[in-house]
Amino acid sequence: MASVRRRFLLTLLILVLTIVAVFGLVKTRPRPQAEFSAVVLSRVEVIEAVQRALQPQLQLTGVLQPWQLARLGFEVKGELLERRVEPGQRVRQGELLLRLDDADYRDALTEARAQLRETRAGIERDQRLLKLAQQQRQLAEREFQRLERLGQDSLASGSTRDSARQQLLKLESDAARLSFGIDSGKARLAQQQAAAARAERNLQRSHLLAPFDGRVNRVEVEVGDYLQPASLVVELIRDDYLELSLEVSTDIAAVLRLGQSLAVELPDGPRQAELVALQPVPDARTHTHPIRLKLLGAGLLPGMLGRVALPLRSYSDAILVPVSALLREAGQAWLFVVNEGRLERRAVEAGIVDQGWQLIEAGLQPGELVVARDVEVLSDGLAVETERLESAP
């Protein structure tokens, strides 16, 4: 009985202590403090869209080439007897570069000239004989006419008249034969003159001369080589001027003109070049217009790179923002415009880029503030704190 009472009192004590502990915890808990939520503003850099005249340029790079390049070869065949030039050597117009063995060509010319002299001598002989035959014919004709006038009453017999007639016919035949020989000789003379001229040209062609002042670029043959006509033996360049060949679109070609001066950036600095060729009809395959620029070659070598600034269509009232302000998504251009402390995600029509500045052709007014960079993380309607940057130049 006593043990039951003790267990009851122990249980009651534990229950009372538990209630006291819970009450104490409730009483001693800290009081809740008021919660405040502060709005954090995003800080963005903004710039004012400005309106000004714009003359954009397109930078194109090309390779400098010789102003003139000639791939030379002999027009006749033969063994190379003499080589007078090496790559890099400067030559003057008409200077001898290479020479073939010309003995056969000299003999051919000598033979042609001898035949020519022989034919000329034959023609001159026949012309003298023809002149004599014509004189004899005139005498024979007068004699025959005299005998005819004497008639039947004269002492001259019919046989005499017949003899005179035969002599006249013979002289006429001789004159005709000589005349034909002269005509044939003149035709033969013309052929032989052509052969002699051809032999003289072939002799000259055995000597390869420089067609212009320039520099030897390559020599492809050695002394002793047997060369065929039209084979490449020497490459000669004219490098006092160089050219820069480029291909441009139609809108660029439309603002260019022959004789126009353009700046070319080269390894030794900028130089002025002249536009000397502009193809008006675009290439059917590339739809571009080939152009050529000419510039002084002093201090330059073919193969160097040259960069030229070509003018594009000018604008009198271009609206400009930094390129970094533009956001492109799914083919659409966007700007974040600041309106009363919040961002407006606005669709715009973007034009060309010129030296880091983007032309806005529609959707933006001069003086509006746009976010200048880091636009990828922004969203429409976002509250922002702005830091103003310097406007476009």
User: Is 86 among the domain residues?
Assistant: no
Among 153, 181, 204, the domain boundary falls at 204
- Are 295 and 343 in the same domain? no
User: Is 224 among the domain residues?
Assistant: no
Smallest Cα–Cα separation from 17: which of 6, 25, 28? 25
Among 265, 286, 311, the domain boundary falls at 311
Task: Give the whole-number percent of the chain exceeding pLDDT 70.
Answer: 84
Give the tens place of pLDDT for each residue, 32-62. 544 444 556 788 888 888 888 888 888 899 9
pLDDT score of 10: 65
pTM of the model: 0.61
Structure tokens at 252: 């660029």
Out of 20-34, 96-110, 208-222, 244-258, least confident range: 20-34
pLDDT score of 36: 43
Whether residue 181 has pLDDT greater than 90: no
User: Is 121 among the domain residues?
Assistant: yes
Please give the residue that has the higher pLDDT: either 27 or 70: 70
- Are 252 and 330 in the same domain? no
Average pLDDT over residues 76-93: 96
Out of 60-69, 164-173, 263-272, least confident range: 164-173
- Are 305 and 257 in the same domain? yes
Structure tokens at 362: 């529609």
- Are 283 and 190 in the same domain? no
pLDDT score of 184: 84
- Are 170 and 186 in the same domain? yes
- For residues 214 and 238, the answer to whether their CB atoms sit within 8 Å is yes
- For residues 60 and 249, the answer to whether their CB atoms sit within 8 Å is no
Which residues does 112 contact at the CB level (< 8 Å), separation at least 6? 192, 195, 196, 198, 199
Q: What is the CATH number of the domain that holds 251?
A: 2.40.30.170
User: Is 132 among the domain residues?
Assistant: yes
Average pLDDT over residues 370-374: 90
Give the separation between CA 65 and CA 292, rounded to whole angstroms.
10
User: Is 281 among the domain residues?
Assistant: yes
Give the separation between CA 327 and CA 249, rounded to whole angstroms.
27
- Are 306 and 322 in the same domain? no
- Are 337 and 294 in the same domain? no
DSSP string, 261-327: EEEEEETTEEEEEEEEEE-SSPPTTT--EEEEEEEE-TT--TT-EEEEEEE---EEEEEEEEGGG-E
Can you give the residue range of the structural domain that contains 187? Answer: 101-204
User: Is 25 among the domain residues?
Assistant: no
Q: How many domains does the chain have?
A: 3
- Are 254 and 197 in the same domain? no
Q: What one-character DSSP code corresponds to residue 212?
A: S
- Are 264 and 193 in the same domain? no
Burial 146-176 (b: 16+ CB within 10 A, else e): ebeeeeeeeeeeeeebeebeebbeebeebbe
- Are 105 and 180 in the same domain? yes
pLDDT score of 34: 45
- Are 303 and 336 in the same domain? no
Token pair 């000639």: residue: 70
- Are 334 and 299 in the same domain? no
User: Is 355 among the domain residues?
Assistant: yes
pLDDT score of 393: 56
Average pLDDT over residues 324-341: 90
Q: What is the CATH number of the domain that holds 322?
A: 2.40.420.20
Among 204, 228, 259, the domain boundary falls at 204
Smallest Cα–Cα separation from 362: which of 335, 392, 323, 343? 335
Out of 16-25, 204-213, 352-361, 368-377, least confident range: 16-25
User: Is 183 among the domain residues?
Assistant: yes
